[in-house]
Structure 1
């Protein structure tokens, strides 16, 4: 496609979470710092919430990839599980097997023995659950009970919940008030402003191998922010389409018109118009041309009549 045209090694705005292209906006940086601090403390639940497309899965992968060797990690990416299925998934991630016939008492004993064994090898054991808003209420309560395992000095299992804002609504339910009280750290991933989008786009292009002149001006990024509301995933879709337009037209600079056309072709985008100052410039140019044409007509009219 346009990779060779722009000198990129791979698609700079792919939707697949790639930790090599991690940008680290302020909210993401704050979340990583908070998570690292919380994991060292070794207690309670940690909650990370963000709207769809704000980079939660990418943050999750970065966290897992950079986890210190003294921390044992378990990961559940799809938590739409019944309490029994959740217990089975947790046991599997911790390296033990249970059957459908394993009752609650036997499960408790097996998991507690495994957690104690892991703590003899590691400083902390962490369970990371992505898309945590999908956890049924009954399964959340089962998860809380699993975290009851502890020694005289520390909890045997720490949990990181990563999910959409619906996670806050679910945790706020009266029947989950005990779980809510155990959340010791909480982070929120937010949308990007125009300045962050400008840096984000440049970062992604350079990481992909682009080394040419600026393609997306700050003015273009202001339009992109309005069209996408600053959601990184939608920014990626929009920028990908703009690069396709530029490649098709043999150009290297994204104009407001390119942004407008790409936004119209993207369902998740809001429609955008040309910036006011560009409209004014266009109007002034049109007025100047009309004035020039009128003056020429006035000057030439006597000659034509003669």
Structure 2
């Protein structure tokens, strides 16, 4: 729509997670490094939490890409599953033919055998679960039992949980204290600060093919930072609408008024409660 007007090759602020657009902002970069170090040290459970829109799914995909050559990974994007289905999903992801398994016992036996094979090949097995706050309590407990699969010297399965803050509340239950005690590393994704929001916008524009002077005026970036609270998903929405407003007005740069127009058109940004304040 506005791409040719601003010299872009593609839309820079799409909401679909794309690892090419990942910005190594402090919180996100540190979280990725912590995950890689912890997994390479063969830690058991690792937890990553963050508010909606902070980039958990993108970080999850980056982690899977990083692990692609050094580990066998199982990815569960929707863990709202009963225990038996979780076992089957993990087994399938790791290459087990679950069609031959007639019950839970056989599924776990086949999965355990597969994990032993991977251990003999010196290839770590890593289970990555996105949206982990959606897991029923019984399934969370089943996940703990799954990590009991180990040899005398080797942990056969490592688990990374990505979830919204509600995951902390779920794991805080007394009935799940055994799993909570197994979480050896945890990190929380923080919103972007003002400087990082500016870097984030410029980075995405560059990745989309822009190579001119700053397309967003500093005052526009400030508005987007304030209205979004530094949440990347909201930054994307507001930046996209700001470009639309500037394009519609025939402007060559996104000014404060265009960003304010985007804020007024975005209910989730309006709820931040800064409208009417002096920016």
Q: Which residue is equivalent to 1:248?
A: 248
> Matched residue of 1:268: which SS?
helix
> Which residue pairs with 1:234 in the alignment?
234
Unaligned 5+ segments in structure 2 are none
**Any idea what SS the aligned residue of 1:257 has?**
helix
Equivalent-residue separation in structure 2 for 1:193 and 1:83 (angstroms): 40
Aligned match of 2:49: 49
Count of aligned residue pairs for this structure pair: 277
Answer yes or no: is the 8 Å Cα contact 2:9–2:209 preserved in 1. Answer: yes
Structure 1 gaps of 5+ residues are 278-306
SS in 1 for 2:57: helix
Q: Does 1:27 align with 2:27?
A: yes
Q: Work out whether 1:90 is the aligned partner of 2:90.
A: yes
Instruction: Give 2:152's aligned residue.
Output: 152
How far apart are the structure 2 equivalents of 1:143 and 1:195? 40
Q: What is the RMSD computed on CA atoms of the aligned residues?
A: 1.7
- 1:205 corresponds in structure 2 to 205
Q: Counterpart of 1:105?
A: 105
Distance 1:223 1:274, change over 3 A: farther
CA contact (8 A) 1:72 1:122 kept: no
Report the more deviating stretch, 105-114 or 265-274: 265-274
Q: State the secondary structure of the residue aligned to 1:66.
A: helix
Say which SS state the counterpart of residue 43 (structure 2) adopts.
coil
Aligned partner of 1:264 in structure 2 is 264
Return the alpha-carbon distance in structure 2 between the equivalents of residues 196 and 274 of structure 1.
Answer: 24
TM-score under structure 1 length normalisation:
0.86
Matched residue of 1:159: which SS? Answer: strand
Residue aligning to 1:292: none
Structure index of larger Rg? 1
Structure 1 residue 275: deviation in Å?
A: 6.8
My pick for the range that moved more, 91-100 or 199-208, is: 91-100
Report the Cα offset of residue 273 of structure 1. Answer: 4.6
Residues 257 and 274 of structure 1 are in contact (CA less than 8 Å); yes or no, is this contact kept in structure 2? no
User: What TM-score results when the alignment is normalised by the length of structure 2?
Assistant: 0.94
* 1:96 CA drift (Å): 1.1
User: How far has the Cα of 1:274 moved from its partner?
Assistant: 7.1
Equivalent residue number for residue 132 of structure 2: 132
Q: What is the alpha-carbon distance in structure 2 between the residues aligned to residue 212 and residue 273 of structure 1? A: 31
| Contact residue 48 and residue 161 of structure 2 kept, 8 A | yes
Partner of 2:223: 223
